Structure 1
Amino acid sequence: MDAHEDTPRIQVLSVSDTGRRRRWSDDEKIRIVEESFGDGVTLAEVARRHDVSRSQLYDWRYRHKNGLLGSGPQFLRVMKIEDASDGSDTAPAPQVPVMTIDLGPRCRVAIPSGFDMEAAAHLLNGLMVRS
């Protein structure tokens, strides 16, 4: 008789996997992103140091650059200003106090009084770069 005939043919293996998903707070993400912009450091080094994939770090950097990392996205209404020969505004009258910033004849930004001014600064910086 062979020894292998005495062993059961089917074995049940128990697998316990905690997974690789990690939860990062927004503050941790921002700290890691800012570290990736440091002088003399590569994105791959920072990703390896914090056990994050490079693609995840690229995504965080993109979201940080566009103001989407942190307090969450906040939205402003964007309306195109049509050419008006009589000079009248085509935008409806605001319901809440707003700060209006004219950036040229066809670009006007109206910021509600309760809006996060840091997010408004990100918006204005983005508009000035694209102009």
Structure 2
Amino acid sequence: MSSQIAVVAGRRRWSADQKLSILREAFGSDGSIGATCKRHAIGSGQLYTWRRRALAGDLDGLKRTAPPSFAEVDMSVSTAAMMGTGQIGIELPSGVRLTVDAAVDAGALARVMSVLAR
């Protein structure tokens, strides 16, 4: 009785380009998931994980943070504010106008403005 045992040592590393190529091969118009898995000696679970990550834009495993978004804000000081009422008028490009007291919490104001700027 003869038996063979294959030993795989270590983990293989695939570049994002290699993963995309394998995904195109498997999910292309003439693709075969089973044949692709056999040809590259990977499991179908790995293939579907790569596919999910590719669709999410995270194929290389590096988490991408969303770029910060900024809203153009014109700030003006009304005559009443210059007279000591302590109010600040803010007009967003969307036409929304805010009037806040000079003692407003800056963090709270930033949260409100981020929602209004969407």
Greater relative contact order, per chain length (Cα 8 Å cut-off, separation 6+): 1
TM-score by length of 2: 0.48
If each structure's helix is expressed as a fraction of its own residues, which one has the higher value?
2
TM-score by length of 1: 0.44
